Amino acid sequence: MSRPAIAHIRLDAFRHNYRVAKQMHTGSALAVIKANAYGHGALQCAKAVANEADGFAVACLEEALQLRQAGIKNPILLLEGFFEAIELPEIVANDLWIVVHAEWQLNILLESKLAKPLHVWLKLDTGMHRVGFSPSDYVSAFARLNQHKNVAKIVHMSHFANADYLSSGHTKQQVAVFQQTINQLPRSQLTDADNHSLEASLANSAAILGWPQAQANWSRPGIMLYGAHPLDAHLQNQAEPKLYFKEQQMLLPVMQLTSKIISIRTINKGESIGYGSIFTAERDTRVGVVACGYADGYPRLATGENKISAPVAVDGKLTQLIGRVSMDMLFVDLTDLPTAAIGSQVELWGDQISANAVAKAAGTIAYELFCNVKRVQFCYSGG
């Protein structure tokens, strides 16, 4: 019998969330499936929406080639562009789009001999200060790329630093910097060789949900595709945000991480459990041991050490994590769940337990939880 820790990936939920993103933004949408689709399986997620996705976004050439080799024909954008000139022939051969975010990339692109021109997304640093051309350099970078023989089309793009905080004015500032910079471009350069207006992309998941002023031709939904809400929980006036666009359009969790109870014991008031003995019973406590730990990707710090214990569902009933998470196992409180038994089903996150709530207890974000899931069985449905 195999170990019962399973990541259930519901591809019909992934499709649903992509459609919500498209409807909210109204333009074209690149489904962001970098980092193995945030740990969910890039090939499976791409195939689930291949018939309707406007394109995909990945981090690098290696991730794109995995999709192409599996038969994915949709446009694919390399969010970090290329790292060496030697990648360009393969980028051209596989009909990939590239982000150009630095002077060295621009120089290599313009000096290379390419079999055909590339679709370029030119990145403007509006305040994230990670990668991208500064506003003072952006106009000249665009002028050098525009109508060059190696460039088929240009999309203007930027990325938000604080879109998940609706109370922050930084996003409005970034939108303003973007608009001011684009307005500096000569009108004669704002159309391509076929007289089509050049396109733009600003909105990530948080901007799609919370910043309608960040609308542009293209959006780049990421975390919302996987059913985790990116907006700051404190601004929702509740511990865990739930945003309903319409009742039938709620974001749906794609991953449900489950396991089972493999051991039960009762400890007396005053006794402790687990490494470090960080949990000491304040009453006689019935303790369940679950076959899942930090080697599977469950966060070690979701233990109450941050003053918040992660919620857990056992046979559909809510309880909480107790004690320190170990490599292969964790503890849950079964004192008020008398029917829980060996083999009882445990949901660690998914339908009842929000990944955001677990992440909050661990002092991290749902992105990291998803990306860290490993060793467990991955079971796909709804493809």
Mean pLDDT of 357-379: 96
Structural domain of 319: 255-381
Q: For residues 228 and 206, is the Cβ–Cβ distance under 8 A?
A: no
pLDDT, greater one: 18 or 248: 18
Which residue in the list 116, 172, 269, 275 is annotated as catalytic? 275
**5 found inside a domain:** no
Q: Give pLDDT, residue 352.
A: 96
Pick the range with the lowest mean pLDDT from 52-61, 143-152, 241-250. Answer: 241-250
The DSSP symbol for 46 reads H
Q: How far is CA 102 from the centre of its chain?
A: 24
Is 280 in contact with 46 (CB distance < 8 Å)?
no
**272 shares a domain with 205:** no
Q: Calculate mean pLDDT across residues 66-84.
A: 98
Answer yes or no: do 173 and 279 share one domain.
no
User: Are residues 76 and 211 both part of a single domain?
Assistant: yes
Per-residue pLDDT tens over the stretch 154-169: 999 999 999 998 888 9
Averaged pLDDT, 121-145: 97
Residue 234 is predicted with a pLDDT of 42
- State which of 186, 215, 240 marks the end of a domain: 240
Residue 48 sits in the same domain as residue 164: yes
Question: φ and ψ at 100, to 5 degrees?
Answer: -110, 115
User: Structurally, how many domains does the chain consist of?
Assistant: 2
272-314 pLDDT, tens digit each: 999 999 999 999 999 999 999 999 999 999 986 667 899 999 9
Domain boundary among 212, 240, 268: 240
Last residue of a domain, one of 214, 240, 266: 240
Q: Is pLDDT at 141 greater than 90 in this prediction? A: yes
Q: Is residue 65 part of a domain?
A: yes
Instruction: Taking residues 34-56, report their average pLDDT.
Output: 98
Domain-embedded: residue 248: no
In this structure, are 181 and 81 located in the same domain?
A: yes
CATH number at residue 268: 2.40.37.10
d(Cα 153, Cα 77) in Å, to the nearest integer? 13
The pair of structure tokens assigned to 46 is 């791409």
Strands 330-333 and 317-322: antiparallel
Query: Is the pLDDT assigned to residue 240 strictly greater than 60?
Result: no
Lowest mean pLDDT among 9-23, 121-135, 229-243: 229-243
Instruction: Clarify whether residues 85 and 146 are in a common domain.
Output: yes
Across the range 332-343, mean pLDDT stands at 98
Told to judge if 34 belongs to the known catalytic residues of this protein, a careful annotator would answer yes
Q: Is residue 35 part of a domain?
A: yes
Q: Rounded distance, CA 2 to CA 4, Å?
A: 6
Q: Which one is predicted more confidently, 188 or 237?
A: 188
Residue 190 predicted with pLDDT over 90: no
Known active-site residue 275: yes
pLDDT at 195: 46
Least confident of 214-218, 235-239, 372-376: 235-239
CATH of the domain at 165: 3.20.20.10
Percent of the chain with pLDDT over 90: 85
pLDDT, one tens digit per residue, over 258-278 is: 999 999 999 999 999 999 999
The reported pTM is 0.93
How far is residue 347's CA from residue 353's CA, in Å, rounded to a whole number? 7
Does residue 71 form part of some domain?
A: yes
Residues 205 and 60 reside in one and the same domain: yes
Q: Check whether 237 has a pLDDT greater than 90.
A: no
pLDDT confidence of residue 157:
98
Average pLDDT, the chain: 92
Q: Which of 34, 123, 260, 360 is catalytic?
A: 34
> In this structure, are 202 and 341 located in the same domain?
no
Specify whether 68 is located in the same domain as 201: yes
